[in-house]
Amino acid sequence: MSVATDPSLLPVAAAVIALHDARLSRPGWPAGEDEAGEDGVWHWIALNHRHNALLWDEEDLSRRTTVDDREIAANKRAIDRHNQARNDATERVDEWLLLALGLVDAASARSDAPTARLPPGARLNSETAGSIVDRLSILALKCRAMRRQCERGDVDEAHRRLSRTRLARLEEQRADLGGCFDELLADCRAGRAGFKVYRQFKMYNDPAFNPVLAAERPRT
């Protein structure tokens, strides 16, 4: 049985969280990384995390008020690119997991209309496993940012105390979400639940579908 169809090789939340934290602690990351060292679903989990981190940095930069508007425009365009890449990686995570679970027709998995194969009576989970991975990535970034607030020396103790309270809540949310991820995959293995690959069809990046970009194109 290949990796792509072996349910025993499905990721667990603790390993996903560990990957997220390991990447955040790596010097120089996320710049210059393409996650080529990861195999299978882990490549897409790592790539999703990388683009979330790059997106986070661009979001911070786009809030600047003392730079030329051209720099902010460049940040906004970078945000669109990273958001698209993050979304694409999320969909690849779902494709890989559904193939491993046997819950999608392999020939249609990468198409605009993947054919689901849910067992009779299985509940359809509204949130996909890939979207949970995406949310865990964002929570990892939030935890890091709040942890830095706890360590600041240029603020008073009240600020650090509030930051510690918020960090504890964020860590609780991440643990709870990780539990939901593991429970969803366990239910999928047991035939009690399933999810589908949902295409986001983000139109703002596509000149063929964004009406403003379409209007800018020269008429022939």
DSSP the chain: --GGG-GGG---HHHHHHHHHHHHTSTTTTTT---TT--HHHHHHHHHHHHHHHHHHHHHHTT-SSS-HHHHHHHHHHHHHHHHHHHHHHHHHHHHHHHHHT-B-GGGTTSSS--B-PPTT-EE-SS-HHHHHHHHHHHHHHHHHHHHHHT-SSS-HHHHHHHHHHHHHHHHHHHHHHHHHHHHHHHHHTTSEE---------TT-TTT-HHHHHHSPP-
Structural domain includes residue 167: yes
Place 211 in a pLDDT band, splitting at 50, 70 and 90: confident
Structural domain includes residue 88: yes
Question: Which CA distances in Å does 55 have to 79, 81, 141, 172?
Answer: 6, 9, 11, 24
| Residue-level pLDDT at 8 | 62
Number of domains in the chain: 1
Structural domain includes residue 215: no
Structural domain includes residue 220: no
Q: In whole angstroms, what is the distance from residue 91 CA to residue 129 CA?
A: 10
Phi–psi pair at 124, nearest 5 degrees = -95, 115
Structural domain includes residue 217: no
Q: Is residue 86 packed enough to be buried (19+ CB in 10 Å), middle (13-18) or exposed (0-12)?
A: buried
Q: What is the pTM of this model?
A: 0.90
Q: In whole angstroms, what is the distance from residue 29 CA to residue 84 CA?
A: 20
pLDDT tens digits along 110-129: 999 999 999 999 999 999 99
Structural domain includes residue 218: no
pLDDT tens digits along 86-114: 999 999 999 999 999 999 999 999 999 99
| Residue-level pLDDT at 7 | 61
Q: What is the largest CA-CA distance in the chain?
A: 65
Place 217 in a pLDDT band, splitting at 50, 70 and 90: confident
Q: Which domain holds residue 83?
A: 3-205
CA–chain centroid gap for 12, Å, is 15
Percent of the chain with pLDDT over 90: 80
| Residue-level pLDDT at 1 | 30
Among the ranges given (63-72, 134-143, 195-204), the one the predictor scored with the smallest mean pLDDT: 195-204
How high does pLDDT run on average in the chain?
A: 91
| Residue-level pLDDT at 143 | 98
> Of residues 42 and 6, which shows the higher confidence score?
42
Structural domain includes residue 72: yes
- Is-contact 126 184, C-beta < 8 A? no
| Residue-level pLDDT at 220 | 64
pLDDT tens digits along 48-78: 999 999 999 999 999 999 999 999 999 999 9
| Residue-level pLDDT at 208 | 78
Structural domain includes residue 16: yes
